[in-house]
Amino acid sequence: MPLQFAERLNKVETSAIRELFKLLGKPGIISFAGGFPDPAMFDVEGLKEASGNVLNEEPGPALQYGATEGYQPLRDQLSTFMATKGSTVAPHELIVTTGSQQALDLIGKTMISPGDKVIVEGPTFLATIQCFRLYGAELISAPIDAHGVKTDELETLIAQHKPKFVYLIPTFGNPSGAMLSLERRKKVLELAVKYDTLIVEDDPYGDLYFDAPPPPSLLALTDTVPGSRDLLAHCGTLSKVLSPGLRIGWLIAQPALLANAVMCKQFSDAHTSTFAQATASQYLKCGRMPSTLVHVRQVYAERAKAMGDALKRELGDAVAFERPRGGLFFWVRLTGAKGGIKDAGELARRAIEKGVAFVPGAPFYAENPDLATLRLSFATADVAKIEEGIARLGQALNS
Ligand code: PMP
């Protein structure tokens, strides 16, 4: 007899993207498919020093079980880190999570009952779609443009569906690369208050801006919209700027939500690795973070420019896109110009044959997928590889 798995598994499937990743082992493939940061950007020296300090200075607590809420020195450091980004957050107002992915999972676990409605952006982060569906959410997609979620349409959807919460990636979204304008950020917070709706802000990419800092996070802006702070949950992470393998994320939310998240985390992983937390804490303490940020911003900015230029040169009006102002992604739409194909899935198959990989955009939509879209990550290939890869994409489009 096959095992009878929980019914909730019927709501999700292994992503099409993972299937595509299996092909990436082909020799010579240039990949724009992953969402990974470039390992060459990891500050290995800094992390060696930080982990060495942990074992010299605090081996007992760092190798012991710890509090579910997080290792206190790290909570203190994260509170200081958030202050550098314009948000006043006391250490007890945040908990450390195993990546921001776990913060999202805890929000799903604490907030979603089967059948509850949740509004997400169309398109949005695939793992969040799957995670919220696993808890039985009915997802509703709010349309976006280059300035992020369209707040007029968001308001209509909130009024109509009365969602449990709204999940947004306001700054350099995955996969959209879009940056929510300041005006819309304020509007989102006003909507939260007007409709008494929780907003979940996922912010893994806000530190990765290129030319100019993005507008303040929704969290930072809660100071300007009375009554909004309790209606805002914020997920942060060190994954994109320091190391995803550390698995250090955090959740900032009002006390009742935080307490329930802590309770659920207790039953799940008890706490995030104390050793990883202590290492992250020592790293933030040693003062290397500002120069690390300058370095990663500069490298990704160069790569983004190279990708934008190559797309214009090699694909011309066969594609439409906005240059991202930060983050790791280009979000591209096939226009079908000059008889080119408009099906990104078909282009992905042809592209693999030409030695370049990307992910089609359709799986990133909770509803009404746009089959002409695709996501290109410029994070892990250097400028020469980006130019070569986009040239191959041009060949694939014309093959
Ligand atoms: N949110 C978004 C939008 C992401 O793109 C990612 C990573 N791909 C995460 C959350 C999770 O990151 P982590 O768990 O490593 O913090």
Query: What CATH number does residue 317 fall under?
Result: 3.90.1150.10
Tokens of 223: 């100071």
Q: Does residue 28 form part of some domain? A: yes
Residue 103 alpha carbon, nearest atom of ligand 1: 14
User: What's the whole-number mean pLDDT along residues 245-254?
Assistant: 98
pLDDT for res 340: 79
**Is the domain of 16 the same as that of 136?**
no
**Is the domain of 199 the same as that of 304?**
no
Residue 238 alpha carbon, nearest atom of ligand 1: 16
Query: In percent, how much of the chain has pLDDT > 90?
Result: 92
Residue 35 beta carbon below 6 angstroms from any ligand 1 atom: yes
Nearest CA to ligand 1 atom 11: 101
Boundary (domain end) residue, out of 236, 270, 287: 287
Q: Residue 24: is its pLDDT beyond 90? A: no
Residue 37 beta carbon below 6 angstroms from any ligand 1 atom: no
Evaluate whether ipTM surpasses 0.95.
yes
**Is the domain of 282 the same as that of 298?**
no
Q: Does residue 138 form part of some domain? A: yes
Residue 247 alpha carbon, nearest atom of ligand 1: 15
Sequence-ordered alpha helix ranges (H) in the chain: 16-21, 44-57, 59-63, 72-84, 99-111, 126-134, 151-161, 182-195, 218-221, 255-268, 274-285, 289-315, 344-354, 383-398
Number of C-beta neighbours around residue 45 at 10 A = 9
Range in 12-26, 99-113, 294-308 the model is least confident about: 12-26
pLDDT digits (tens, 9 = 90+) for 125-160: 999 999 999 999 999 999 999 999 999 999 999 999
pLDDT band at 365; cut points 50, 70, 90: very high
**Is the domain of 67 the same as that of 165?**
yes
**Is the domain of 126 the same as that of 96?**
yes
Instruction: Indicate the average pLDDT of the chain.
Output: 95
**Is the domain of 235 the same as that of 330?**
no
Boundary (domain end) residue, out of 236, 261, 287: 287
pLDDT for res 282: 98
363, 126 Cβ separation under 8 angstroms: yes
Range of the domain at 349: 7-43+291-398
Task: Tell me how far the alpha carbon of residue 338 lies from the centroid of ligand 1, in angstroms.
Answer: 37
Task: Tell me how far the alpha carbon of residue 318 lies from the centroid of ligand 1, in angstroms.
Answer: 30
pLDDT for res 248: 98
Residues 6+ apart with CB under 8 A from 290: none
**Is the domain of 281 the same as that of 318?**
no
Residues 6+ apart with CB under 8 A from 397: 315, 318, 334, 340, 341, 347, 350
Residue 97 beta carbon below 6 angstroms from any ligand 1 atom: no
Residue 239 beta carbon below 6 angstroms from any ligand 1 atom: yes
Q: Residue 15: is its pLDDT beyond 90? A: no
Kindly list the distances between the CA atom of residue 359 and the CA atoms of 24, 70, 315, 365, in Å, as whole numbers in the listed order. 11, 35, 17, 13
Domain count, the chain: 2
